[in-house]
Chain A
Amino acid sequence: MSTEPTPEAGVHPALDRQDIAHLARLARLAVTDEELDRFAGQLGAVLDAVAQVQRADVDDVAPTTHAVPLTNVVRPDVTRPSLPRDVVLAGAPAAEDDRFRVPRILGEEA
């Protein structure tokens, strides 16, 4: 971010176009110039509204990570059939030699 992390409750940095572009890159999301303008305004307004959680008095409150108390759930360690390979690959955008075909992962310089 272009600004330091929030030092005190109720304060948050404004999100500018550069921040939005950075976040979009992190999320593997190409965005148009027009979207950058629109999202910067809208996300700023949304952040203003949601930032009120920072003012909640929760000093001694534990976070709820889950609505239902759960312990680790494990299933019996038994081999089961999976979906057939051709069925899984049938939904892929590209497949070759019984595998997913993907674009190159390493750049030219690698």
Chain B
Amino acid sequence: MSDLTALTVAELQRALADGETSAAEVTRAHLDRIATEDGALGAYLHVDHEGALRRAGEVDAAGTAGTGLAGVPVALKDVVVTEGVPTTSGSRILEGWRPPYDATVARRLKDAGTVLLGKTNMDEFAMGSSTENSAYRPTRNPWDHDRVPGGSSGGSSAAVAGRLAPFALGTDTGGSIRQPAALTGLVGHKPTYGSVSRYGLIAFSSSLDQAGPMARTVLDAALVHEAIGGHDPCDSTSIDAPVPTLVQAARRGAGGDLSGLRVGVVRELGGEGSREGYEQGVLDRFTEAVALLQAAGAEVREVSCPSFGLALPAYYLIAPSEASSNLARFEGMRFGIRVGDDGSRDVDDVMALTREQGFGAEVKRRIILGTYALSAGYYDAYYGQAQKVRTLINRDFAAAFDDVDVLVSPTSPTVAWPIGARVDDPLAMYAADLCTLPASLAGVPATSVPCGLSEGLPVGLQVMAPALADDRCYRVAAAVEAALGSPLTDQLGARTGSAA
């Protein structure tokens, strides 16, 4: 058997079903690679060595390996609560906490027979675009260890790109699945808001947070998405609608025929209307990807979405506002750490000290900004106004989707940047989310699919579709992937000598 860590989810399914390998062998191969590689990458916050081997043994004993996702290892972003397995959301305030229950997405993957390898590093409470805001350590990009892997799901992206897991779950509030996927050469999909349960995800910004798959191929992402999607009575915002046939859409797209599909290039996102802040290499790969879509038979036209320029300021008012409310639950009384409880202080002081020591700088900055934006006298000027801008963005999407079936843009205006380059400049960091924010604010699905390299680093193409039309994202992404050949991560494997 070739190197088991080089196989995609679909290839692992086949190898397990054919009896060429076992869940235990696959799991051990990944644990071994984690042991040798993760010291340099910092992709994991917790590796559940014993639990993974035990679980793999159970799958083998049951004889179900290769049925669906049974026997396939997974890494979960540490914002997904997992029963009995440490969950910190990248924060000191939850250090040592072992949740008493599973998030719905974790439960569904468990029920599907997957093997949990561990929990991946992330920006604290998912606030960040580089995974440098982790309270524990930064994660490094497998393509260049001196660069960021994107964020906030950077641990998940580094784990999958570095072959420390065949797939992972991330969460995306403003772009935290798609941007790290783009920066590490992966496929990442933010599902339609409400179509994948948020029950058991540690909330950051409730009207925007959404879990989704990160994988090395479009087909793998679709296989995972179908396993985690669908209505959940535990989440009151969960949409009660069937999951689209995503695997079928991915297979159809891989056939390379997009005739009849209308693709809109967003003028304000890397189109002719706004090119400031975009690296030339990113624009070149984007232009080539659009040409590939055209060659596959798609009809391409430029579409204007004038309000998208307001997405960044609206997001950076809405998300901190919701975060300041959501993070009020971390006060050191019921779970997590407690600081200063020496009998001399009252509850207010203990809460303030616990939060002072438990939260990092970016979290504090956003709590203070959110508290300000929601305060009496400022609510209408900031939060209320931002929610109205959100309506304008919704209208732009609605008008665009009258004319075209999907919208495309670069996923990130730049390739991965050097670690430390933006840490002291919040505005420069926030600009990393320029292209991903509009879809988040509107709740529509969006995929990032690799579309080549610039200066030796991955570039992502973003495909956005109307709500509940996630299948269109998969179809278009699969066509791009098919036109470009083998997954980008194969090139990484060849470069680092870790290919099969």
Q: Are A103 and B356 also in contact (CB < 8 A) when A5-B377, A61-B391 are? A: no
Contacts of B386 in A (CB 8 A): 50, 53
A52 CB contacts on chain B under 8 angstroms: 310, 313
Are B388 and A35 in touch, CB under 8 angstroms?
A: no
Does the CB pair B391–A67 fall under 8 Å? no
Contact among B307, B356, B427, B467 with A45 in the assembled complex (CB-CB below 8 Å): B427
Given the complex of chains A and B, what is the CA–CA distance between A24 and B369 in angstroms?
A: 10
Closest to A40 in B: B368
Q: Does B427 lie within 8 Å of A46, measured CB to CB?
A: yes
What 0/1 readout, one digit per residue, does chain B (177-195) give for beta carbons within 8 Å of chain A?
0000000000000000110
Q: Considering the complex, give the chain B residue whose CB is closest to the CB of A6.
A: B381
With a CB–CB cut-off of 8 A, which chain B residues contact A31?
356, 364
Name A's interface SS.
loop
Neighbouring A residues of B364 by C-beta, 8 Å = 24, 29, 31, 35, 39
Whole-angstrom distance between the alpha carbons of A27 and B351 in the complex? 10
Least CB distance, A72 to chain B, in whole angstroms: 9
Q: Does A81 contact B (CB under 8 A)?
A: no
Q: Is the CB of B237 within 8 A of A30?
A: no
A70 near B237: Cβ-Cβ < 8 Å = yes
Least CB distance, A5 to chain B, in whole angstroms: 3
A-B contact count (CB 8 A): 188
Task: List which A8-47 residues lie within 8 A (CB) of chain B.
Answer: 12, 15, 19-20, 23-32, 35, 38-39, 42-43, 45-47
Contact assessment for B100 and A88 in the assembled complex, using a CB-CB cutoff below 8 Å: yes
A68 lies within 8 A of B381 (CB): no
Q: Is B455 close to A, CB under 8 A?
A: no
What residues of chain B lie closer than 8 Å to A46, measured between beta carbons? Answer: 316, 365, 369, 426-427, 430
Do residues A49 and B313 form an inter-chain contact, with CB atoms below 8 A?
yes
| Per-position binary interface string of chain B over residues 383-401, scored 1 when its CB falls under 8 Å from any chain A CB and 0 otherwise | 0111111111010000000
Q: A19: nearest residue on chain B (CB-CB)?
A: B372
- Counting CB contacts under 8 A, is A65 at the interface? yes
A56 to B427, CA, bound (A): 20
Interface size on A, residues (CB 8 A): 60
Of the listed stretches B4-12, B144-152, B287-295, B339-347, chain A binds B339-347
Residues in chain B near residue A87, CB distance under 8 A: 100
A64–B345 CA distance with the chains assembled, in angstroms: 42
Q: How far is the CA of A4 from the CA of B381 in the complex (A)?
A: 12
Whether B101 pairs with A50 at a CB distance below 8 angstroms is no
A63: chain B residues within 8 A (beta carbon) = 384, 387-388, 390-391
Please, which residues of chain A bring their CB within 8 A of the CB of B225? Answer: none
Q: B388 touching A91 by the CB < 8 A rule?
A: no
CB neighbors of A among B294-317 (8 A): 307, 310, 312-314, 316-317
Q: A64-110: which residues lie under 8 A (CB-CB) from chain B?
A: 64-68, 70, 73, 75, 83, 87-88, 90-94, 100, 102-107
Contact partner of B392 (CB less than 8 A), chosen from A38, A49, A61, is: A61
Stretch with Cβ within 8 A of A (4 or more), from B114-122, B161-169, B327-335 = B327-335
Contact B368 A20 (CB under 8 A): yes
Contact A58 B369, CB 8 Å, known A30-B356, A31-B364, A46-B426: no
Structural contact, A90 and B100, CB atoms closer than 8 A: yes
Interface flags for B349-362 (1: CB within 8 Å of A; 0: not) read 11111011001010
- Name the distance in Å between A44's Cβ and chain B's nearest Cβ: 11
In the complex, are the beta carbons of A91 and B97 less than 8 A apart? Answer: yes
- In the bound complex, how far is the Cα of B225 from the Cα of A24, in angstroms? 40
Asked if A35 and B394 make an inter-chain contact with CB atoms under 8 angstroms apart, the answer reads no
Q: Which of A39, A65, A92 contacts B368 (CB 8 A)?
A: A39
The answer to whether B356 and A67 have CB atoms under 8 Å apart is no
Q: Are B98 and A91 in contact (CB under 8 A)?
A: yes
Q: Tell me the bound Cα distance from A57 to B460 in angstroms.
A: 33
